[in-house]
Structure 1
Amino acid sequence: MWPYLLLVLVALLIIKLINVCLFWSKRGLPYESWPRHFYRLLWLFNTRVISEVIRDDVKKYGTIYGTYRGLTPSLMVADAEIAKEVLIKQFGSFFGRTFEFSTGDALWDNTLTHLPYDQWKAVRTVMGYTFTSSKIKGMIPKFDKVAKRYGNTIAAVAKSNHNEIDLKKLFYNYSMDSIVAVSFGIDLDCLNDPDNDFVKYGTQILRPGLSLILAFTFPSIIRYLPFAHFPPKGATKFFGNIGKHILAEKKKNLDEVIKNGTADILDLHLIAQKENADNYITDEVLASQAFLFFIGGIETSAITLQLCTYFLATNPEVQDRVYDEVKHIMGERTEVHYDDVQKMKLLEACLLESLRIVPITFSIDRIATEDTEVAGIAIKKGMIVEFPIAFLHHDPKYFPEPDKFIPERFLKDEQVVSETSAFLTFGDGPKSCIGRRLALILIQVLIADILLKVRFDKCSKTPVPLQLRPGFNFTDIFLMPLILRLTPRQEVMR
């Protein structure tokens, strides 16, 4: 009996592989063969920077070509206008994303990015209420308090004999402290307690390894693989328990928090829950959204801080102008207000330009939820359409002199302009990053505080040009430490 079943399974697998291998050959498009894709997955993606592999493929096959994500056909499109069509105009036909897979873990599966459409719409509305300007304004004091702690620490390093430093750990801890403060209402203080449970479990979730690679390439089967635990069970258990406990405590004091205007993200979610009779907004769902903001914000904020300070150090004339902007806005004040951050246009443009040159992820994708057509190409339900972010960000058609750090490309009439279909760091359309504005403010508050105290300079240990680490990396993306020299501001001669 069992030998026959095994034979049938092997036969079905062979038929599946044959169909996969022949898929693009029937559609008249240039394409990457599945055997080459499999080789690339096993070897190239672990020995080369993935965005560079994709860049070479675009040069070889053209701006529209067929490839695969695991066993699923994927249409790679290096065209910003088509990206806009898929992400915005055809949003209803491309609701899914490859990373939106069921794991069987309630905390993960209830995050906004994984919810079915009706529930997603309800929860997205609630979260939109959380990230309005008036609500973000109330969170600025929390950011500023943490930023002062880290700004003073970095200023002390600048005055020491060890002022050439990789700021990675400090920036990671700042992001952790800030995001936990506004998400859960907890003052972590990672400077004095760097091994707390939030750090311990938070670093596990997107750690490079086999589980993350399989989750990215074969998302539909990850939950059935006993050797691949994604997300890590210990981490989701910790965050699930802490979320439930904090929600229970917050409900007891919600009226007082509303009265004092000291609400954090979970408080605001609870307020929206009270005002919304929709059964979709359960405590379990709310805990998942705080978890989502945590995992989506920690690493990305820390990396963006590293990138921006690196580019300011290697472009000193830009750093001087950003310092002048911050100094002019702040005057003799030390406490950063919401209106101050809103005026720091050049600083924000520097953040966006840093993320243009080095986007944190190499591509963005959508899964067709119905049969449709893109650029005259028939797209079947379940197929993937993928856009290579790094290639688009370095295409001179969209960004002239793409290898140069030119923050002014994001400024127009003294306003920050990033609503271009070719800039995809935060995605685009209804499923773009909902916490984008809050994340940028978190970063601006710290850089503004540091610049008033310290100047960033490159030194003999600073890697120029910047080099990225090969393989699947969403956390440790730099090949070499970004070591910078810190100089106390009062010692700077201009």
Structure 2
Amino acid sequence: MSFSLEVNPYLVLAFLGMCVVFIYRYMVETYSTLEKLGIPGPKPVWIFGNVLEFKGKNVLHVFDDWKKKFGDVYGFYEGFRPGIVVNDVDFARDILNRHFEKFYIRTSYRPFVYYPDNLRLIEIDGEHWKNQRAVLNKLLNSTGILKQVVQKMRISSNRMLHQMSEELKNAKENEGINISKVIDSYVSEGVMRIVLDMDEEQLAKHHDSIYNYEIASNWSASAENEASGLARLFPSLTPLLKLADKKHRESHEEVVNILREYLNNTLTGQNNNKLKDGDHVSLLSFLLSSKVLSRDIDGSLFRRGLTTDETIAHITSFLSEMYSTTTAAIQFILYELACNQHCQDKLYDEIHRICGKDGNFSLAELQKLEYLDMLFSETYRHHPVAPGLSRVCSESCTIRGVTFKKGMVVRVMTSPMYNDEQLFQDPDKFIPERFARQNRLESNQYSFLPFGQGPRMCPGQKLAMIKVKTAIIDIIRNYTLTTCKNTEIPLKEALRPSLTPANGVCITMSRRF
């Protein structure tokens, strides 16, 4: 017995026609969202939106061009998702602070997340985020902890100077050295010391594993990584694209296993909950003694210790976030000092006057280095390590005549603001004095946001500045920096995921004595 299936070709054509009509209407509806809201912006391409306009270009230059063409508020499409960009100080204040309750969700720029990293501050929101944030705020603003950070970073800084000396011995005359790997090593080792209080034996045992994790974690979220780019563009493909994230996944698993064992050993040696803030030898020690506010099933509030997975999530966040931003900031500062000798001379005089020619320096002395603060700010304005801040609109609203839809991503792009002549006179010039205390008091605090603003601003500002200042002080006390034939002018940059020198920084370093 045989069966034959007859297919009516007209029904097939009708079905295909309906599919085409549905897809067409969906595309038209999707890519008219911003136009219906009255928001200008570049014309999108179906499926990809406007992301193809970034291909082969400096991402920040694209946003600069869009600001010039479309103004302080415009929109663009990331794949199928419409988003709004603001380049205005008043809008920045409204979104980051004044209307925080409508924009309290922070977007994650890391598409590939592995447990327990989903417990990190950047991945959570609501009451849970608020309670976890309170613990980290106390930790990262503890004077006792910060004083110890200074001393531990000095140890790493001395090792950095030794490594630089070895590099210089092997450098060819007038060709300089690429200081990036030395700075990377300094930051990575320093983070291990201040977060985990690792001794020399532990550093020798675990440094490579943690350093490789830091590199892999940041490459996983790099704008140059095609797999992560596609995952951001088409989130539904993330489980499939994770297969290409093997190196990051394996290094993450290795570091998490190291941390689980390390936590057990630390807990065994720590008399939990009986240490004062100043008695803690590391950020980890502080976390293990901390209590976080939580809500029980019946709704009542109580305090509990952080779980092992919560603690590990915070530590991996320190390892990856502190590494990428700090090493980039230090490299950019050294580059600008090499290019601006008069600034280097002023900085050396200030360091010599406040911290001395050599030897230790204190947290109080670091806080007195006003010119170094100005230099950091001006360098950051020229090379914004974090060029923008993203939030998700939690409820539809209208602010200053602009309608924001629930679920829409809103980007406060600060890098175009830093090039705005109305905010910074002669923006192309390198003038640290524009950030003198009096000038900052007279300017809008939302015109310059190196650590963000509002409740979700970066909690690690003081910690980051200690790491940056320690490296800069010790380098400038020992070396005069100049450009060489291998120095890139202007410096090529890349988002990996923070803005960083694309090919490192090559400069000449000459002993001061």
User: TM-score when scaled to structure 2?
Assistant: 0.85
1:50-129 matches, within 5 Å, as 50-99=59-108, 105-129=114-138
Moved over 6 A (4+): 6-12, 188-195, 414-419
Distance 1:376 1:220, change over 3 A: farther
Larger mean Cα displacement after TM superposition, 89-98 or 191-200? 191-200
Larger mean Cα displacement after TM superposition, 82-91 or 99-108? 99-108
Q: Name the amino acid aligned to 2:279.
A: G
Structure 1 counterpart of 2:337:
312
1:355-374 matches, within 5 Å, as 355-374=380-399
CA–CA distance in 1 between the matches of 2:202 and 2:509?
Answer: 21
CA–CA distance in 2 between the matches of 1:375 and 1:170?
Answer: 48
Q: Secondary structure of 1:73's partner?
A: strand
CA–CA distance in 2 between the matches of 1:82 and 1:312?
Answer: 34
In the alignment, does 2:212 pair up with 1:174?
no
CA deviations over 1:309-334 (Å, ceiling 9, x no partner):
01011111110111111111122551
* Contact 1:190–1:196 (CA under 8 A) maintained in structure 2: no
Distance 1:190 1:409, change over 3 A: farther
Larger Rg: 2
Deviation at 1:419, TM superposition (A): 7.6
1:21-420 matches, within 5 Å, as 21-35=31-45, 38=48, 40-42=50-52, 44-99=53-108, 105-134=114-143, 135-158=145-168, 161-162=171-172, 164-187=176-199, 196-207=208-219, 208=222, 209-219=225-235, 222-223=238-239, 225=241, 227-229=243-245, 232-255=248-271, 258=275, 261-273=279-291, 277-279=302-304, 281-331=306-356, 333-413=358-438, 420=445
Larger mean Cα displacement after TM superposition, 61-70 or 184-193? 184-193
* Contact 1:173–1:191 (CA under 8 A) maintained in structure 2: no
* Contact 2:74–2:84 (CA under 8 A) maintained in structure 1: yes
CA–CA distance in 2 between the matches of 1:190 and 1:46?
Answer: 43
Q: Secondary structure of 2:55's partner?
A: helix
CA–CA distance in 1 between the matches of 2:458 and 2:218?
Answer: 18
Larger mean Cα displacement after TM superposition, 416-425 or 365-374? 416-425
CA deviations over 1:465-488 (Å, ceiling 9, x no partner):
22334xx53268434442101000
Distance 1:243 1:414, change over 3 A: farther
Q: Name the amino acid aligned to 2:28.
A: I
Larger mean Cα displacement after TM superposition, 78-87 or 130-139? 130-139
Identity of aligned residues (%): 24
CA deviations over 1:228-274 (Å, ceiling 9, x no partner):
54993213212322222222111122239947835211111111138
CA deviations over 1:26-82 (Å, ceiling 9, x no partner):
12232223218936424x323000010111111122221121233221111111111
Larger mean Cα displacement after TM superposition, 160-169 or 150-159? 150-159
Q: Name the amino acid aligned to 1:198.
A: I
Larger mean Cα displacement after TM superposition, 173-182 or 455-464? 455-464
Larger mean Cα displacement after TM superposition, 449-458 or 269-278? 269-278
User: TM-score when scaled to structure 1?
Assistant: 0.88
Q: Name the amino acid aligned to 2:324.
A: E
Distance 1:191 1:172, change over 3 A: farther
Q: Secondary structure of 1:196's partner?
A: helix
CA deviations over 1:375-418 (Å, ceiling 9, x no partner):
21221110121122210111111111111111122221599999
Distance 1:396 1:274, change over 3 A: closer
Distance 1:70 1:461, change over 3 A: same
